[in-house]
Amino acid sequence: MDFTPFALSLKLASLTALILFVLSLPLAWYLSQSRSKIKPFIEALTALPIVLPPSVLGFYILWALSYNSPIGAFFEEYLGVKLVFSFTGLVIASCFYSLPFMVQPLQNGFESLNQSMLEASYIAGKSKLQTIFQVALPNMKPALITAIIITFAHTVGEFGVVLMVGGSIPNETKVASVAIYEMVEIMDYSMAHIYSAIMVGMSFIVLLSVYIFNAKQQRRFGL
């Protein structure tokens, strides 16, 4: 049994969760504190990957990363990096389709905070950055953990966008979901059952850890 697809899936999900946390934190903070008229438009754009069919999202990401687009051409000509059918391209695509799963829980966590606590932090002389890391994040651990784990799990389970952007290159872009699809195509159902069962077990453990952590936090604070 080849465990390389699982290793690639875990690597992809870990990198995506890390990158999206860094990128989504300021965006989620802005959305939670903003009263701007453009806020609904930003929220709609952020949530778009949830409702778009994977084929549509995958097609536009594939075009944007290909040599036919300015972005893909720039990376390939000046940086020597090919984005289509590469692990780098998979990471970029994963950041797009998993973005709402990181932003929305963080935004909800920021919005659930007591505003007077944030105001007290500003009065005490703390900057916005200090307030986020020293006051906000420690008081919204359930939302923080949920955002990271759900983003991780969603990236592991994605199939359509991954197949369109990365294809199925062994040891490069052939993640677990793609490997299962290929096993079904060649009617190797016994191995497909094994791979699928591992994926089900991984997903269940990830979700169970989220619910257990949130339940402990609720008991701790008497909610």
Measured in whole angstroms, the distance separating CA 27 from the mean position of its chain's CA atoms is 14
- In this prediction, residues 205-211 reach a mean pLDDT of 85
Place of tokens 């060649």: 186
Residue 24: band (very low, low, confident or very high) from pLDDT cuts 50, 70, 90: very high
pLDDT score at 67: 87
Report whether pLDDT(222) > 70: no
Per-residue model confidence as pLDDT tens digits over 77-128:
888 888 999 999 999 999 999 999 999 999 999 999 988 888 888 888 888 8
Residue 197: band (very low, low, confident or very high) from pLDDT cuts 50, 70, 90: very high
With a CB cutoff of 8 Å and minimum separation 6, the contacts of 39 are: 31
Exposure string of 38-65, with b = 16+ CB inside 10 Å and e = fewer, is eeeeebeebeebeeeebeebbeebbebb
Residue 209: band (very low, low, confident or very high) from pLDDT cuts 50, 70, 90: confident
With a CB cutoff of 8 Å and minimum separation 6, the contacts of 139 are: 113, 117
d(CA 15, CA 5): 15
DSSP 223: -
pLDDT score at 40: 93
Of 42-56, 83-97, 146-160, 201-215, the least confident:
201-215
- In this prediction, residues 130-148 reach a mean pLDDT of 90
Asked if 96 and 61 touch (Cβ cutoff 8 Å), the reply is yes
End-to-end CA distance of the chain: 46
Stated pTM of the model: 0.89
